[in-house]
Chain A
Amino acid sequence: MNSPDHAAPGLPGLFAERAGDYRAGMHHCTEDELPGVLAGLLAAAAKVVLPPGVPAAWTSGLAVPTLLDDRGLTAADLDEAGLSVLTGCAVAVAETGTIVLDAGPGQGRRLLTLVPDHHVCVVRDEQIVADVPDMITALPDPTRPLTMISGPSATSDIELNRVEGVHGPRRLDIVCVHPAI
C-alpha cells in the first residue's frame, strides 16, 4: 500500500516528497484502503489516543485499545510508554511538507500530539495548499491554538548532527489519502 503509483502528481506529490525529506514516514492510500493502512501503522501501539471528532471509519480496523480524549487526560496519562496518537489536520503545505493542526475536529488539544511518542496524521489531497502564504490565508480561524509540524522534532545542537525526536513525538507517520482512480 506504500507503492509509489499511489503518489499523486502536483501539490500532493510535492507535499509527499518534501515531508519525506524531513524523515517523516510517508504512506499513500485511497479512502477505502485507509482503515487498513492505519491499522497496520498502529498495530504495535499499546493504546491509541484519539481526539474528539476522528471519523469512525479510521478506527474501524484497529486491533488495539483506544483512548478518547474527553479533556480528562493529563500529561502524565499521555506520557505512558507505547502510546500513539491519531489525528487529521486543518491544512497542509506542499512546498515545505508541513501539516497544520488548529484544534479543530479530529485534531484535539495541543497536548495530545506532543507528549505521546508516535503521531499518525491523515492528510487529504484537497487539504494541501501550495506554500506558506496560502496556508496562512487558508486557516479558518487564526486565533485558535495553531501548531505547524514539519517532520519529527529535531536538534542539530551537538556538532550540527541532526538527531530526530528530542521532545515531541520521535516518530511521525503521514498518511496521504488520494481519490480512487
Chain B
Amino acid sequence: MSRQLPIVAITPFPQAAAHELADTQLRANLGRATRTIRDKRARVVAEVADWEPMRDRAAAVKDEVLDNLDELLARFEAAAVAAGATVHHAADAARANAIVTELVQEQQADHVVKIKSMATQEIGLNEALEAAGITPIETDLAELIVQLADDTPSHILVPAIHYNRSQIRELFARRMPGFTATSDEPAVLAGAAREYLRRTFLAAKVAVCGANFAIAETGSLVIVESEGNGRMCLTLPETLIAVVGVEKLLPRFADLGDFLRLLPRSSTGERMNPYTSIFTGVTAGDGPQRLHIVLLDNGRTQVAQDPAGRAALRCIRCSACLNVCPVYERAGGHAYGSVYPGPIGAILSPQLTGQDAGFNKTLPFASTLCGACYDVCPVKINIPEILVHLRQTGPKPAAERAAMSTLSWVMRDRRRWRAALRAARSGSAPLRLIARRHGGTLRRAPWPLSAWTAHRDAPLPAAESFRDWWRRTHEQS
C-alpha cells in the first residue's frame, strides 16, 4: 500500500483517547450533541409501534444481501446499465480513486462538487483528486467547515461538532472567498455558505456522491440528506459519479419502506429527513446526462466471509451507536483514527483493513461492552459480540500469549490448579496487611502486574478457598 488509508489508526486507541480527553471544549460539545440527538431519537422511535419487528426485518434483508452479493450486484448492474448508467468495479481504494480521477479528467474539469459520503472518505478520494490537480469541494455545511479548516470529521452525522460558532465565523472569514459577515449567528453563517456554494453549484461540471441504498431490482440509487446540497449535486452538473460500497444494496424497491423509516429516526432523530432523492440511470432533460457508478469492494467481500463478523456490513451509517456510547461520548471521533468512529468503527475498520493494519487491533478494546450500541442499532448488529470476537482473534503480544498458554495448562488439571491457588495464597499473605486498608485489594503492584493496577485495583486471592472453608465448617462432625 503506497499510502495509509483513512481507516487505519496510526496511534493506539488508549494513547489517542488520552490526548483527545484533554480537550475540554471538545468534550463539552460532544456531550451536548450526543445527549441532544440521543433524546430526539428516543422520542421518535417510541412513536413507531412496530419498531422491533422492523429492526428484525431490516437485519434479515441485509443478511439476504450478504448471502447473495454476487447475484444482486449483477442484477443491479444490469438494471442500472439498461437505464443509461455506466457501472465500474473497484476492488480496492486505489482502483476506485483511479477510476474517479480518470472520469473527471475526461470531462476536463478542474474541480468537482461533493456530497458527504463515507465511502469516498474511506478511500481518501479527496487527497487522490488533489494529487491529480483536481479540487474537490465538500458541499455539506459541516464537511465544508472541516475542509476549510484542513481538519478531519469527528462524527459521522455532525462532522464539525467540535467547532463552535465563533470558531466557524473566524474560519469563514479566513478561508471563504467573499465572506464579510460580522455576526456568528448560525443562520448568518449558513446563509454565507449558501451564497458561496450557489455560485459553485451553478458552475460545476462534475459531481461526486455516495449512496445510502442501491436497489438491485431497479438499478436506482437513494440519497438521504438535509440541506439540499445533495439535490444540487444530483441535479445541476452534467456528469455524476457515485461511489457505492457493495454492501449498500437492497434487493427490492419495496425494501425501502422499512429502511427509510429506520434511517432518519435513528440518525438525526427526525421522522423523515428534509430531502430524499431516488434516481435510476439517466433521465433525458432532467439532471445529469452522464451517470457513472463505481461499485467499491475494498475489503467488503472478505468481511462477508467471516460468519462471526460479517453483520458489521449491515451498517447503514446512521451513527446512533456513536451517540449512546460512553466511550465515544468522552473520547470523540478522532481518537479512533478512522473515518468510521465509535462502536461501529471499532468493528468495521479492523475488519476492512485486517487487524494487522496500523493500530486497528486496539479498536475492539475501545468499549466497555455495555451493549447500548446493540440496543439502538436499526439493523441489529450485535456490536459487543463482534468486539469480543475481534478481541479473541486479533494479534496478541508474545507475553500475553505465553501467560495465557501457561494459565490454560494449569487450569486444565484439578491438582495443578489447587497447587497454584495454594502457592498464590501463601505468596500473597504478606501483602494482605497492606491491602486490608483498601477492602482487601491492592492499589499498586510491581511490574508486570502494574499494567493491571494502573487502571484498576487488584483483588488478592481469598485467605481460604471455598473447598477448604466447606471442609472446615461442614465436614468436621
A interface, CB within 8 angstroms of B: 18, 21-22, 71, 75-76, 79, 93, 95-98, 103, 109-111, 114, 131-137, 142-161, 163, 165-168
* Shortest Cβ distance from B197 into A: residue: A167
Q: Quick one: which of B185-236 are within 8 Å of A by CB?
A: 186-187, 189-190, 193-194, 197-198, 201-202, 215, 218-220, 226-229, 231-232, 234-236
In Å, the complex CA distance between A18 and B198 comes to 30
Contact of A158 among B168, B236, B274, B283 (CB under 8 A): B168
Is B258 within 8 A of A155, CB to CB?
no
Q: Quick one: which of B76-107 are within 8 Å of A by CB?
A: 83
Is A146 within 8 A of B277, CB to CB?
yes
- Known interface pairs A155-B226, A158-B186; A147-B271 also in contact (CB < 8 Å): no
Is B283 within 8 A of A145, CB to CB?
yes
Is B275 within 8 A of A155, CB to CB?
no
Main secondary structure of the interface of A (DSSP, over half): loop
In Å, the complex CA distance between A115 and B203 comes to 14
Query: CB-CB < 8 A to A163: which residues of B?
Result: 186-187, 190
The 6 closest A-B pairs by CB, nearest first: A133-B257, A168-B228, A167-B228, A153-B228, A96-B272, A157-B142
9 A-B Cβ contacts within 8 A? A114-B235, A132-B272, A136-B253, A137-B257, A153-B228, A154-B227, A155-B190, A166-B193, A167-B231
Is A158 within 8 A of B285, CB to CB?
no
In Å, the complex CA distance between A81 and B132 comes to 37
10 additional A-B pairs beyond A153-B274, A157-B145, A158-B190, beta carbons within 8 Å, are A75-B236, A93-B272, A96-B271, A111-B287, A142-B278, A142-B280, A147-B231, A157-B142, A160-B37, A166-B229
- B33 at interface by CB-CB < 8 Å: yes
Stretch from B61-69, B157-165, B310-318 that touches the partner? B157-165
Contact of B254 among A95, A137, A151 (CB under 8 A): A137
In Å, the complex CA distance between A127 and B381 comes to 37
Query: CB-CB < 8 A to B36: which residues of A?
Result: 160
Q: Which of A79, A103, A150, A156 has the most CB of B within 10 A?
A: A156
Contact with A along B224-261 (1 / 0, CB 8 A): 00111101101110000000000000000110111011
Is A114 within 8 A of B189, CB to CB?
no
* Shortest Cβ distance from A71 into B: residue: B285
User: What's the least CB distance linking A95 to chain B, in Å?
Assistant: 7
Q: Which of B186, B228, B253 has the most CB of A within 10 A?
A: B228
User: What's the least CB distance linking B169 to chain A, in Å?
Assistant: 10
Is A114 within 8 A of B231, CB to CB?
yes
In Å, the complex CA distance between A22 and B37 comes to 17
Is B276 within 8 A of A147, CB to CB?
yes
Query: CB-CB < 8 A to A154: which residues of B?
Result: 226-227, 274
In Å, the complex CA distance between A149 and B276 comes to 7
